[in-house]
Structure 1
Amino acid sequence: MLDAILNKLMKTTPVEKEQLKSFEVHDDIPIDAFDPALSEKDHAPVLNDHFFRNKRIYVSKHNRYAPYPEHSHTFFEINYMLRGSCDEVVDGEKVHLDTGDILLMDIGSRHSIGYLGTNDLLINILFRDRDINLELLNGLRSSQSVFYEFLLDRKLGGRGDIHHLLFSHAQVDEVQDTLDRIIDEYYLQRQFADTMISGYMSILIAQLVRNYHVKVKKPASKSQQLVLEILQDIDSDFQTVSLEKLAVKYKYNRNYLSNVFKRETGTTFSETLNKQRMLNAHILLTSTALPVSEVMKRVGIRNKAFFYRKYMGYYQKTPGSNR
């Protein structure tokens, strides 16, 4: 890690100065970062996708000098112990992190973080299941590691028995360099930083699969492998992909494919395809000056009323309001 970045992270922030006075949390997370419905349902704060409005991966330093109360989130979280140590409670289980340890938590995991002192640096890296590279995941299929099972289960829409994974610093020497590179890129914000960070995240996933050797109880089934390939088709060809085309490609009946997809992911093919199209539409609407009609065309939707209705359903605003 660059010395300039490390020195920046070691500096006391305004929030930390307040916490140092009272040893109580002074939360700097805005109110709209919490999901009110899920928070009420879980009886604990639940963080939403607020952090990903302008970036695919979010990195931050956890504020020191006060324990952080139990909460959960609608995304994956990596806690990387850059310096020192800390104690957490994850889904009721006590977890201790030393320098170099990495804790990966699933979507919906509930956790609290203990007191961090001056020499403790805990880095949070947040990412969503949509940012798991499907081509990479498919390529890692032969590894059959616990981490592979963890990612595969989430990508297929489930939440299995594994809710968090702890990677000891003794297991992941090469991973620390990749994490340091992600942190450097994030804070330097040089040209193409987002692209570099996404690339490093793929490397990080591959390295964790390679280094976490505990075997799964059973390999992915043929139907899971098939659905993973279909998800990859949706990801790469969302403009024109259809069940009819996939039925021809994989030599299965259309209704069979539809039923297998719903069984393995918990959602329909059309719902998943529409979600992918809306995600790409949102990226185009927030990062380009393309007219809405051109955005519709680029994501494979022709019906304007349908597009507006779906977009409103996902983002609670009209496509034009993002301009």
Structure 2
Amino acid sequence: MHFSFMTLLYLFFSKKKYRILHIVLTISTQSATLHTKKGNTMNLNTLHHYLTTLSPSELRYRAGERYTGWENMPKVFVQDKEYSLLNITDTDSLVYQHPAVLQNPGIHAELPEISIKKNSRFNPVPEHIHPYIEINYVYSGQCPQIIDEKPVTLMKNQVLLIDTNCPHSIEALGEEDIMISIIVKTDFLRDHMFSQFSNDSILSRFFINAINEKTNHNHYLLFHSENNRRIPLFFNELFCECFDPSINSNDIIMHLFYTIMAELINVYENDLTQESAFSTSSMVIPILRFIERNFQTCTQESVANFFHISPNYVTRLLKKHIGLTYIQLIQEQKLEYAAKLLRQTALSVTEIAHKSGYENVTFFYKKFRQKYHCHPTDFRGK
């Protein structure tokens, strides 16, 4: 049986959140071993050996040699300041030559949407910009950087998202400092991946909006994932697949990348809650969660009573943080749930309307057509 990539993604996200398809990949937290279709195995000890072994260029850098290619790189001015520009010469495959990155085929992974490479140690990276999004993960040690003139030290298991055209530099990494960079096409991350998460959940939509707003303002975002159980597990599996690719390697890598980004949204929820303990952001999160679980039956008054606030304040909070009134949000939730049932079940349209919280089926047809520009039956056939 053959599944298209988008079908696999749909199956993947329609199951319980962030669970990897068992038909593609098995993760064992006890043995920490990746089993590939070829029958090869890679354990975490082997992965650690591969990641920490010095490359020929790292041996030269440790001996005092420095990369001099920055002088020949194109220069651009941003706000009257000159920066070296790291560009992607092949926009289709994201193949590029980054002097701070090892050209080691073991951890080198090139896909149409993302590129994964390990950063070289013992060699500082001067201030530069690039027209793509960069995601850094520290496998071990730490990584001091200067981002938009602000010092940021990325610790073990933390993740850093750097926006396009954000000036940043990296201090020389020590022998125990292992950092992996994932280069992502901007339109893929924001227009495709984040929109997929936004369609799944109003909470996800809220956190993605918050991530985008903060990244647009600060040009970077640090995820405090150092104590997260899943993040190192998912990254380790990703690196294992890069070193020891299986028959379905590209699909597995993309599924794992989706899973990592989904888990980072969970991480950001904790970060945002701590940052906004005394702001309205901390109040809107439980309200969104309550509505997401009770949208078929809850009313604006019942939500207000549950949180001991006025009904008008419920709408003001929602309008401020997600741009929708209470009524608009409930309609969105009901229609998205109905669309999900149309795709995943054989229930009649009337049954789906009732399960989605609509007593008047004619009204359901009207609202569904307004949102999806087709009849529910036609939507199911797409």
TM-score over 0.5 for the pair: yes
The residue number in structure 2 matching 1:82 is 139
The share of aligned pairs that are identical, in percent, is 22
- Write the distance in 2 (CA, Å) between the matches of 1:182 and 1:26: 32
Task: Please tell me whether residue 118 in structure 1 is matched to residue 157 in structure 2.
Answer: no
The residue number in structure 2 matching 1:149 is 210
Structure 1's unaligned 5+ residue stretches are 226-247, 253-323
Distance 1:7 1:88, change over 3 A: same
**Among 66, 84, 90, the residue aligned to 1:45:** 84
| 1:1-323 alignment, distance < 5 Å | 2-22=44-64, 24-25=66-67, 36=74, 39-42=75-78, 43-50=82-89, 52-53=94-95, 55=111, 56-132=113-189, 133=193, 134-143=195-204, 147-151=208-212, 160-213=216-269, 214=272, 218-221=320-323, 250=371
The residue number in structure 1 matching 2:362 is none
Deviation at 1:46, TM superposition (A): 2.1
The answer to whether the 8 Å contact 1:77/1:124 transfers is yes
The answer to whether the 8 Å contact 2:206/2:322 transfers is no
Deviation at 1:249, TM superposition (A): 5.4
Distance 1:77 1:136, change over 3 A: same
SS of alignment partner, residue 165 of structure 2: coil
Residue deviations 1:230-280, cap 9 Å, x none?
A: xxxxxxxxxxxxxxxxxx85489xxxxxxxxxxxxxxxxxxxxxxxxxxxx
Deviation at 1:48, TM superposition (A): 2.4
Residue deviations 1:274-303, cap 9 Å, x none?
A: xxxxxxxxxxxxxxxxxxxxxxxxxxxxxx
The answer to whether the 8 Å contact 2:136/2:181 transfers is yes
- Write the distance in 1 (CA, Å) between the matches of 2:251 and 2:232: 19
Deviation at 1:129, TM superposition (A): 2.4
Deviation at 1:117, TM superposition (A): 1.2
Distance 1:145 1:166, change over 3 A: farther
Distance 1:197 1:65, change over 3 A: same
The answer to whether the 8 Å contact 1:171/1:212 transfers is no
TM-score, structure 2 as length reference: 0.51
The answer to whether the 8 Å contact 1:147/1:212 transfers is no
The answer to whether the 8 Å contact 1:103/1:165 transfers is yes
SS of alignment partner, residue 172 of structure 1: coil
Structure 2's unaligned 5+ residue stretches are 1-42, 96-109, 282-319, 330-368, 374-382
Deviation at 1:26, TM superposition (A): 5.4
- Write the distance in 2 (CA, Å) between the matches of 1:20 and 1:199: 36
SS of alignment partner, residue 164 of structure 2: coil
Q: In the alignment, residue 149 of structure 1 is paired with which amino acid?
A: A
The answer to whether the 8 Å contact 1:136/1:202 transfers is no
Deviation at 1:99, TM superposition (A): 1.4
Deviation at 1:122, TM superposition (A): 0.9
Distance 1:147 1:67, change over 3 A: farther
Distance 1:250 1:178, change over 3 A: same
- Write the distance in 2 (CA, Å) between the matches of 1:190 and 1:143: 31
The answer to whether the 8 Å contact 1:84/1:120 transfers is yes
Deviation at 1:149, TM superposition (A): 2.6
Deviation at 1:168, TM superposition (A): 2.2
SS of alignment partner, residue 44 of structure 1: strand
Deviation at 1:23, TM superposition (A): 5.2
SS of alignment partner, residue 166 of structure 2: coil
Q: In the alignment, residue 136 of structure 1 is paired with which amino acid?
A: F
Distance 1:172 1:164, change over 3 A: farther
CA-atom RMSD in angstroms: 3.3
The answer to whether the 8 Å contact 1:61/1:123 transfers is yes
Residue deviations 1:208-242, cap 9 Å, x none?
A: 111212168642335xx9xxxxxxxxxxxxxxxxx
- Write the distance in 2 (CA, Å) between the matches of 1:119 and 1:10: 7
- Write the distance in 1 (CA, Å) between the matches of 2:184 and 2:242: 13
Farther off after superposition, 68-77 or 133-142? 133-142
The answer to whether the 8 Å contact 1:150/1:162 transfers is no
Distance 1:137 1:15, change over 3 A: farther
- Write the distance in 2 (CA, Å) between the matches of 1:181 and 1:142: 27
Query: Over alpha carbons, which structure has the higher Rg?
Result: 2
Deviation at 1:40, TM superposition (A): 2.1
Q: In the alignment, residue 139 of structure 1 is paired with which amino acid?
A: D
TM-score, structure 1 as length reference: 0.59
- Write the distance in 2 (CA, Å) between the matches of 1:190 and 1:124: 21
